[in-house]
Structures are given as C-alpha cells and as structure tokens.
A = this chain, B = another copy of it.
Amino acid sequence: MITTDLHPVDEEGAQEFRSRTSETYARIHGDVVSGKLKPGVKLKIEQLREEYDVGATPVREALSFLAADGLVVREDQKGFRVAEVSADEFEDLLAVRCMIEERALRLAISRGGRKWEEGIVLARFRLSGVGRIEGNEAEWERHHRAFHMSLLAACGSSLLLRLSKQFYDENNRYRHLSRLNHATTRDVRGEHEEIAEAVLARDTDRAVGLLVEHYTKTGNLLRIALKDLATDGHG
C-alpha cells in the first residue's frame, strides 16, 4: 500500500484525526475541492493558522502534501496558492482520467469476486437512498465518491486506485467551481444504475462505454461552464 493515511475519507465520514496535520490536510483539501478556496488564491500561513486554529507546522505540512497532489502550487519563498484551473488543464485531466478508469474498470470486472460485487451493491444503495435535498450535499458527495470507487475496488492495482481517487477529486473541483448541479441537469441517478448493472453483469465493454460517457457528458457541460468562468470570473 503506497498511499498514506493523510488522504481524505474513503467510506464513512466523520472520523477523528490522529494528528493536527491530517485534520488540517482534510479540511484544506475539502475547501479546495469544494471551491470554497478559489483557484489562484494565496494561502497565507498566518491566515490558515487562525482559520483552522492550529500551528504553522501542520499547515505547512498539509500544504506540502497538497502541492504534490496538484491541488496547490508552491513557489519557493513565495508561499502557497490554490492551483489555477483552465479549460486546457481540464481536457487533460478528463482524458487521462478516462484512460486510467477504463483500465481499472476492466481489471476490476475481470478480477472482482463476491465481495467486490457486494461493495458495489451497497454503495449503489447508499447513493440512491440519499436524495440531494439541501443539507445532504456533503453526504451525497461522499456516497457518490464511494460508489465510483467501489466499481474499481477490485482492480488489484493500488496505483490505479490512487490515481483514480486523485483525479476524481480534481474533477470534482471543476464541477464545484462550475456550480454544476450534476444531479439536476441530467438523469444522473439513472446513469449510475445503468453503470452498476453493466458492471455487475460483467458486460465489460458496455460498462466502460457507459462510464466514459458518464464522465464525458459531465465534461461537456463543464467545458461550457468553464468558458463563462474564464470570462466573468476575473475578480
């Protein structure tokens, strides 16, 4: 297992953290992904120190980790800032993500066993259960991430899983920044059902096709929203 426990929660939320650094990492990570911390914003240590009520060391450590993740950019002697977004970067991300997840999904379908199937069923059930009524946003987000990861869980490659999670989060940031409601725009729930069915039926090509289409559809919407963001978002 290459990954470190600094990474955000995978399944159940509301864990307790064993270090200030982990907690601070999770919080900043969440704030960047959710768009609360906007692209390009300067991340002043003193400010974050106060915001999260913690010392400078955990803040700097969390930011260092985030920098390697790609969500934050560091420049020596000039501190940290939230990574910029752009249409080009997004295209790049989407394409690489599709490639990674396709591979992971194919492997998972060929290798996955009973336990993997049950994980998908469970994740699908949870996701379908929580409507996106306001207040449940966070919970829906968590279940949505868990669902998508459950599909790949049995791929047998910790590297592919790590990358899938990382890119999921990065893509998610774009979605939030575009204020794209996701669930309201299309029949996302239906798409999830379809994907889950295809996967569980071991219909590999169909599953991959649906998954990539799922991402591409969102991508197309994001692409449009990004243009607006680029034009009026300067300020």
Indicate if the CB atoms of B74 and A2 lie closer than 8 Å.
no
CA distance A22 to B75 in the complex (A): 10
Indicate if the CB atoms of B6 and A74 lie closer than 8 Å.
yes
Which A residues, 26 to 74, have Cβ-Cβ distances below 8 Å to chain B? 57, 60-62, 64-70, 73-74
Interface centre among A73, A74, A75, A163 (most CB of B within 10 A): A74
Indicate if the CB atoms of A4 and B157 lie closer than 8 Å.
no
Q: Give the contacting residue for A4; candidates B61, B68, B103; CB below 8 A.
A: B68
Indicate if the CB atoms of B89 and A2 lie closer than 8 Å.
yes
Indicate if the CB atoms of A83 and B18 lie closer than 8 Å.
no
CA distance A163 to B166 in the complex (A): 12
Q: A18-B76, A64-B61, A65-B67 are in contact. Are A92 and B5 (CB under 8 A)?
A: no
Q: What residues on B are CB-neighbors of A163 within 8 Å?
A: 96, 163
